[in-house]
Amino acid sequence: MTMKIKQWLLVIVLTATATVRAQIAMIEKTVPEDGLLTLEDLNYGGRNYWNMVPQNRYYTWWGDQLVRTDVEECFLVDPLTGRESPFLQLNLVERWAGTSPDMKVRHLLNVRFPYPDQKLMLLSNGKERLLVSWESKIIVWRQQADRQEHADWSAASRAVAFVRGNNLYVLDRDGKETQLSHDGSRNLVYGQSVHRNEFGISKGTFWSPDGQRLAFYRMDQSAVTDYPQVDIFQREAAYAPDKYPMAGEQSHTVTVGVYDMLSGKTVWLKTPVSADVAAVGSHEADNLPVYFTNIQWSPDSKTIYMFEINRDQNDCRLVSYDAQTGERLAELCREVSDKYVEPLHPITFLPWDSGKFILQSQRDGYNHLYVYNVDGTLDKQLTSGNFVVMELVGFNEADKTVIIASNEASPIQRNLYAVDVKTGRRTRLDNGRGYHHATLSGTGRYLVDNFSEPDVPRVIGVLSTTPTKGKGRRPSATLPTGRDGEGVLFKAGDPWEGYQQPAFECGTLKAADGTTDLFYRMVKPVGFNPSKQYPVIVYVYGGPHAHCVDATWHYMSRGWESYMATKGYLMFIIDNRGSENRGRDFEQATFRQLGQVEMQDQMKGIEYLKTLPYVDATRIGVHGWSFGGFMTISLMTNHNDVFKVGVAGGPVIDWKWYEVMYGERYMDTPYDNPEGYEQTSLIRQAPNLKGKLQIITGYNDDTVVPQHCLSFIAACIAAGTQPDFMVYPGEPHNMRGRQSYHLHERISQYFDDYLK
């Protein structure tokens, strides 16, 4: 796992699956007499939590036909009128399947329509995959699905790749199972994500478009040191180690295999990597590719494209390979930096021209799209400007446009645009406000727009991706626009209606450099009285690949902030330099000195707070998790005359104990940047702890291992300073379920005890 998986983000990640659970079994909501929001209402793991998040509906596409999925039923949706026609019921599927009770499909929320020209639905009950014909009312195909980890199904061949017992298998459409590896273990990992999920990697298998070839990762981590985790939930505590490559130490090596379904053979890509490139302190290794990421197939399934990055992460090359022989074909482009290059997206071929592809890069300072020819020559830069392309959603093939999400309208917004590949002309498709996520139809002619605004919990509508000629930025009138309630499919009500709510405000401050705008959010106490003075809690994350303020509902405020606002606290959050979606230089300002520039910017927020008459400058606290835990202790010890109370969760204490890929990208190795590691280490700050500090960690944290906080506590003991400490046995980097509720109850109580 990476540092970008944080406590506040975990809530968002889990929302979709937990909302499914909430739809199946809702708890009746009643507003208490005092109208105050509680922790049970606002925190993940709370008993009323899923009643207090904006309602959602689930839509998918069957080609260009819109479908709404639900627990017991699916509906065809007329995108012009929003009228729904039920066409499939769960009880009918169960009847057609003729399965035993333990093989039943439990709900229809995750149904897929893999073939736009066939009336077939893909369902799974965890033990079988089923293709259902709702026209013939039969199961036309079924496949075993139990005992399959990391399953990856190909619609083209109906084969599935999966891991079982640390080895990689392929099950073809006829049920024939082939074992691709026989030496899988903790040391030799097949078919799973590698490089600790950095570089945009989220899985380890990649089917070719025709479904006949499978590219897959093999990771040899035998040279990686075991971190000695302990399982205490046994009669005698057991050794349960994690493979954890620390910055500057030996890492794993990765190779890419290609299995051919027709020949039954596997070839290995002949990458220029050898077993010694991960050697400790090897500067030769810095110049050789050790990270392989963003694997992509050519449309004809004959060529594999992959980004190769050296260990120093300042030299990135896009390379092509022959999928049949594994031979290295060509280096198509190269990007170098005096800091780091971080590819996060595979190349994407134009569907109407297989001789061209789109590459994403922030070489000009912002993530933009570039059109390349397959011989590696640059055709054009497709997008440009002081904004970030946040997602390449897909294509409208008929119009020859690419659909993107970007923050061109505002650094804290996410809006949808159609970009003409020939001219580069961008046409906005949505209402120009808020934060929008798109699901594109089969041909790319339409999209489902699921969005929110600071005062709008959720709206779902359908947009055309074909701009109307002569009408500038307006979308086509042939479909509902989703603008200002017009043609909307679904609009969620305010789940907090009837409760006393805090006020949410957003603004900008200048960074410590005097020129850069930083966005902040303020949550004012319920019943705010400007003539009173309030204690302040600064919530901080501050690290790369994350942000805390945007134009979603309540400006992205976490429920815990509102809970604390009901208790009389003023909450303040600012996105410092180093955070995401503001461009390369904004993020890379922290290179080789994590925490230093971030603290300077956070202190500009403190300067602003001290100018407000309703802020009690003698009662300022700070709280954060992960990178935010690192920032919390950094602020508490470097500015111990400002912060009275802090709660640091899962904190990094010294970057030499953090993992290779992330740590070396931002800090280089401890051998190359000893001054930076010394400057940013919190061990040296232990004598400077003055206020009340509580440190919290998951006892089995495999992201920020317990060595961090334990070492800081040891340093505090030696220095005679007095932090408090809490652990959650068996928990990883983020607390889950009811443990999360308990955690936030403890955090809240700590501020009540020492700040209020």
45 touches 14 (CB < 8 A)? no
**CA 392, CA 395: separation in Å to the nearest integer?**
9
Three-state SS for 440-456 is ECCCCCEEEEEEEECCE
Residue 301 annotated among the catalytic residues of the structure = no
Q: Tell me which of 547, 639, 733, 744 is the catalytic residue.
A: 733
**CA 631, CA 693: separation in Å to the nearest integer?**
13
- Return the half-sphere exposure (C-beta side, CA atoms, 13 A cut-off) of residue 593: 11
DSSP reduced 3-state for 21: helix
Number of CB atoms found within 10 A of residue 72's CB: 13
Q: Which residues contact 506 (CB under 8 A, 6 or more apart)?
A: 412, 454, 519, 520, 521, 522, 549, 551, 555
Q: Tell me which of 430, 575, 654, 701 is the catalytic residue.
A: 701
Q: Which residues contact 326 (CB under 8 A, 6 or more apart)?
A: 258, 267, 268, 269, 270
269 touches 260 (CB < 8 A)? no
Burial class (CB in 10 A: 0-12, 13-18, 19+), 135: exposed
173 touches 141 (CB < 8 A)? yes
Nearest to 620 by CA among 721, 632, 513, 529: 632
Burial class (CB in 10 A: 0-12, 13-18, 19+), 17: exposed
326 touches 269 (CB < 8 A)? yes
Strands 534-539 and 615-625: parallel
C-alpha to C-alpha distances, 720 to 523, 686, 688, 694, 716, nearest whole angstrom: 36, 9, 10, 16, 6
- Burial code of 432-456, b = ≥16 C-beta within 10 A, e = fewer? ebbbbbbbbbbbbbbbbbbbbbbeb
Residue type, 609: L
Q: Tell me which of 181, 562, 626, 634 is the catalytic residue.
A: 626
Q: Which residues contact 484 (CB under 8 A, 6 or more apart)?
A: 431
**Six token digits for residue 551:** 């134009």
**CA 642, CA 631: separation in Å to the nearest integer?**
14
Alpha-carbon Rg for the chain, nearest whole angstrom, is 26
Residue 626 annotated among the catalytic residues of the structure = yes
Catalytic residues: 626, 701, 733
